Structure 1
Amino acid sequence: MHTTNHDGPDARLVTALAGADAATRLRAALSAGTLGDPHLMEPLIARCAVEPDFFVRDMLTWALCRLPAEITVPRLLAELGSDTTQARSQALHTLSKIGDRSAWPAVSALLHAEHDEVARSAWRAATVLVSPGAEGKLAADMATELGRGDYQVQLSLSRALAALGAAATPILDAAMASPDPHIRAHAQATERLRRNPESGFALSLEFAERVTATGPDA
């Protein structure tokens, strides 16, 4: 069991967070969350920016969520200005898990981020942190990204729009009338996903693209 240095973070735990073995790092992140020591916030956030393993990153987020929001949220908001793409993306993810709506202005500013991973994280966080009653405005803002990117990017946006429920319907209806066939197809696939979350997005997107390209009788 780790002993906590009240003048700073547990040195052994910090070392383990950067260990060569992913299992070691996972255990260290679990221990950090269990301890809930605010001195570990900086090492945890620093590791989020460089951690290559998905499961370890998720445990790092859990560990940060175990700390007081009054210290983590301001620090994570500062991380949104990092030069490191993963640092920004993981900070957005963690903010969405904490659920503090004071982060909303900073999150909404990244909905159109140039880097796909940052934008995808911002879309997911936005659906959690949006102010009640502002879902329609958020849907309209996010819908300007319809047709963007590859399959994974489009699926992320569709899931985010679908999570807004009925607020997204008029926005998607308008997008389905777009002169751009890529936007029309993406909007149609999104509406299918919104109506039936169990539907296959890939098949819906493929079908919509075929219809918009050749007409409904194809």
Structure 2
Amino acid sequence: MLIGEVARRCGISARMLRHYDSLGLVRPTGRTDGGYREYSSEDIRRIFHIESLRSLGLSLREVGCALDDPGFKPSELVDDLIRQTRERVAAEMELLTRLRRIGAAGPADWEGVLQVVALLQGLGSESAGKRQRAALSSVQEVPVPVEALVEAALSEPDPIVAGALRWALAHSGDGALPLLAEGLGSPVADVRKRAVQSIAEIAHDEATALLQDALANPDIVVRRCAALALGARGVADAVPTLIDMIVEEANDADAADALSTLASRPPLADQIATGLVGCLAHGTLEPSARLRLTQALADIPGATASRALSDLSHDEDRAVALTAAYVLGIRDAR
């Protein structure tokens, strides 16, 4: 079969067939009397093999090596191509994300584009100092898309940089909240913790609602962080979790402070005191837990707390009894 007919049947140009010949990929097995290339059925089958491998993304050099290697293993080739394709797709997605973020920032001119690019690079820098400066600059100088700030905040391991990023998010408006809410459902515990910490620093009603929902989160760290934030905002829903934190000695000092803040509202003081007394009624509590609950009662005003302290001043545990008596003495002196 002559080159023109082969080109028509195989769907490639005669020029490409000549190129294959020059590379040694497909050399026609015969020549006509006039010296024209003449391809056999085996040559044509090799051409189809070449085109099939090229469609998978192989270069002509790689195609030649694959066809001429007697030890060639298709499975290894496919695995390698999958790896390369994934790397290429990841790189392209990263570029697409960067371009979208630059577009979302709305730079007015080329200088603005360069500033946004520099900040995005800063947020992804290996240097903690550069990441921190980028976070601060995103509020003070060039606005960075909130999506980029959220991604940085949820992945930031350095506590100082994380604080700067949370501050930046708190000043970015409420656009970050839906993205942070997604972070609360992350399979990664650190991401869930960073998400609730970031939400806790945003002073919006929607943020408060998210924190209230977080009290039912399966992650106990998320629940406790949400409770502390809600206690500072005067939300009574946090009381049970805060009391549990005191019992379990988990940020118990902060939990007691939050309860004290909540108890400044008279309707909540008795509720909190009742909750603390209810825990003390459990005979299985360790003396150290009873002492922490007694200390927490010290900052709760009202008759319910005073009666509980009076009872505790006769507690069988000496440390509990002395603490309760001391607190009562101070309360009586006021």
Q: How high is the sequence identity, in percent, across the aligned residues?
A: 20
In 2, Cα distance between equivalents of 1:145 and 1:185: 14
In 2, Cα distance between equivalents of 1:130 and 1:36: 35
Alpha-carbon spacing, 1:145–1:6, altered in 2? closer, same or farther (3 Å): closer
The reply to whether residue 160 of structure 1 matches residue 258 of structure 2 is yes
Pairing partner for 1:53 from 155, 158, 165 = 158
The reply to whether residue 13 of structure 1 matches residue 119 of structure 2 is yes
**Relative to structure 2, which stretch is displaced further, 164-173 or 137-146?**
137-146
Output the TM-score relative to the length of structure 1. Answer: 0.71
Equivalent residues, number:
193
In 2, Cα distance between equivalents of 1:217 and 1:92: 38
User: Please, what is the CA RMSD of the aligned residues?
Assistant: 3.3
Deviation at 1:112, TM superposition (A): 5.9
Deviation at 1:129, TM superposition (A): 4.6
The gaps in structure 1 that reach 5 residues or longer are 196-207
Conserved in 2, the CA contact under 8 Å of 1:112 and 1:119?
A: yes
In 1, Cα distance between equivalents of 2:156 and 2:138: 15
Output the TM-score relative to the length of structure 2. Answer: 0.49
Conserved in 2, the CA contact under 8 Å of 1:104 and 1:130?
A: no
In 1, Cα distance between equivalents of 2:134 and 2:169: 13
Alpha-carbon spacing, 1:180–1:146, altered in 2? closer, same or farther (3 Å): farther
Pairing partner for 1:30 from 136, 140, 152 = 136
In 1, Cα distance between equivalents of 2:322 and 2:274: 25
In 2, Cα distance between equivalents of 1:112 and 1:186: 25
Alpha-carbon spacing, 1:80–1:114, altered in 2? closer, same or farther (3 Å): closer
What letter matches 2:159 in structure 1?
F
Deviation at 1:77, TM superposition (A): 1.9
What letter matches 1:169 in structure 2?
A
Conserved in 1, the CA contact under 8 Å of 2:123 and 2:134?
A: yes
Q: Secondary structure at the match of 2:201?
A: helix
In 2, Cα distance between equivalents of 1:89 and 1:152: 15
Deviation at 1:157, TM superposition (A): 2.8
What letter matches 1:42 in structure 2?
E
In 2, Cα distance between equivalents of 1:13 and 1:112: 36
In 1, Cα distance between equivalents of 2:156 and 2:316: 42
Which structure exhibits the higher relative contact order, with contacts defined as CA atoms closer than 8 Å and separated by 6 or more residues?
Answer: 1
Equivalent residues in 2 for 1:85-100, closer than 5 Å: 85-100=189-204
Deviation at 1:113, TM superposition (A): 4.9
Deviation at 1:28, TM superposition (A): 0.7
In 1, Cα distance between equivalents of 2:127 and 2:214: 33
Pairing partner for 1:84 from 163, 171, 188 = 188
The reply to whether residue 140 of structure 1 matches residue 245 of structure 2 is no
**Relative to structure 2, which stretch is displaced further, 139-148 or 87-96?**
139-148
Pairing partner for 2:297 from 174, 178, 191 = 191
Deviation at 1:64, TM superposition (A): 0.8
Specify the alignment match of 2:171 in structure 1.
66
